[in-house]
């Protein structure tokens, strides 16, 4: 308890799933938390359960809304120490030759462009105090699979954007560390939706069979739970990772180790 006492954290896409678990855990460790999302009902319900947690509706593709959200964080809490770029969407499993430019741009926009915008506007508020930027990528930012080219491209971009910014901010002397987290298969609605779509596209067997197959392919023997990823975020947010920047933290039960 208290690993983030006196700190302020900003979590995009924080209304449900991984983001909500991150918000709960960082708040439980003493942080003030700004949660943003387009899911207003879920976001308000989460914030209403906690003191020193604020929800703000926020479309991460709109730069002016980033300016407003970062400004609201400064107004509410005076500064920013932890930025978690978590907002993201999955791609409906589709062969590349059948993927439209509109589909490509939507996935890359939310999963990569929004991370750029978050970093760009978060740095301005963080550079006076230093802190930690944590970009949520994926194991699909490291390895490939069929039918998910836009998602792989976006998450791979997050991985290298993180490394580039880590070097840049270190050279500027801002005291801001930048690392990426690469979740494996976690039992969230987004993962289940992705499996369902892959089944419908003929790329995987039935949904239950797909879950069983992924579980069997995971050396630890289970899919992840949101707290597994939130714990990694807490570590990178805390001073326990003070000598880490530009790193990629893979949390996947050993899936990519094979």
- Positions marked catalytic: 151
Distance separating alpha carbons of residues 140 and 153, to the nearest angstrom: 9
Residue 50, token pair as written in the block: 């906690």
Q: Of 88, 5, 11, 8, nearest to 46 (Cα)?
A: 11
User: CA separation (Å) from 106 to 102, 138, 167, 241?
Assistant: 6, 17, 28, 33
Question: Do the strands 53-57 and 82-85 form a parallel or antiparallel pair, or are they unpaired?
Answer: unpaired
Buried b (16+ CB within 10 A) or exposed e, 94-112: beeeebeeeebeebbbbbb
Distance separating alpha carbons of residues 212 and 207, to the nearest angstrom: 9
| DSSP notation for 214-241 | HHHHSTTSS-B-HHHHHHHHHHHHSGGG
Decide: residue 35, CB within 10 A, 0-12 exposed, 13-18 middle, 19+ buried: buried
């Amino acid at each position: 308890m208290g690993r983030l006492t006196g700190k302020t954290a900003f979590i995009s896409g924080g209304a449900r799933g991984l983001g909500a678990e991150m918000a709960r855990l960082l708040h439980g460790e003493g942080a003030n938390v700004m949660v943003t999302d387009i899911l207003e009902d879920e976001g308000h319900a989460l914030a209403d359960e906690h003191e020193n947690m604020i929800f703000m509706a926020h479309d991460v593709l709109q730069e002016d809304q980033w300016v407003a959200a970062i400004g609201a964080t400064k107004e509410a809490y005076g500064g920013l120490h932890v930025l978690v770029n978590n907002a993201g969407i999955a791609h409906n499993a589709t062969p590349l030759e059948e993927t439209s430019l509109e589909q490509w741009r939507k996935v890359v926009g939310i999963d990569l462009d929004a991370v750029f915008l978050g970093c760009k506007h978060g740095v301005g508020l963080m550079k006076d105090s230093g802190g930690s930027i944590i970009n949520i990528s994926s194991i699909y930012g490291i390895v490939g699979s069929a039918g998910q080219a836009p998602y792989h491209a976006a998450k791979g971009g997050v991985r290298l954007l993180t490394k580039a910014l880590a070097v840049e901010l270190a050279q500027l002397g801002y005291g801001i560390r930048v690392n990426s987290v690469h979740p494996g298969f976690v039992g969230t609605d987004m993962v289940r939706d992705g499996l369902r779509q892959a089944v419908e596209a003929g790329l995987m067997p039935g949904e239950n069979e797909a879950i069983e197959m992924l579980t069997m392919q995971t050396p630890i023997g289970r899919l992840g739970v949101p707290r597994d990823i939130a714990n990694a975020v807490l570590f990178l947010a805390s001073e326990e990772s003070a000598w880490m920047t530009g790193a990629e933290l893979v949390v996947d039960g050993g899936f990519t180790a094979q």
